[in-house]
Amino acid sequence: MEKKLYRSRTDRMIAGVCGGIAKYFDIDPTIVRLFWVFATLVGGSGILAYIVCAIVIPLEPIE
């Protein structure tokens, strides 16, 4: 089965981006969330990247 990147419906804080990325790479969502916070604090690009991902990445289909 082909792996696809989706925003998570269940593991979400805001839009499910971090939960979806964590599921895709099979890692803990906390690690992905910490990366976003770090990227935001270092240069502010984390906020813009999150917004773009929330718009571009489709929501996980209902099974």
Residue 63 maps to a domain: no
State pLDDT tens for residues 31-48.
999 988 988 898 888 888
The pLDDT value given to residue 20: 93
The pLDDT value given to residue 44: 81
Residue 30 maps to a domain: yes
Domain that holds residue 37: 1-58
pLDDT tens sequence for the chain (63 residues): 688 999 999 988 899 999 999 999 999 999 999 988 988 898 888 888 889 999 999 999 887
- Total number of domains in the chain: 1
Contacts of 47 (CB under 8 A, 6+ apart): 40
Question: CA dihedral in degrees (28, 31, 32, 37; nearest 10)?
Answer: 150
The pLDDT value given to residue 48: 87
| pTM (2 d.p.) | 0.86
The pLDDT value given to residue 12: 85
Residue 51 maps to a domain: yes
Residue 41 maps to a domain: yes
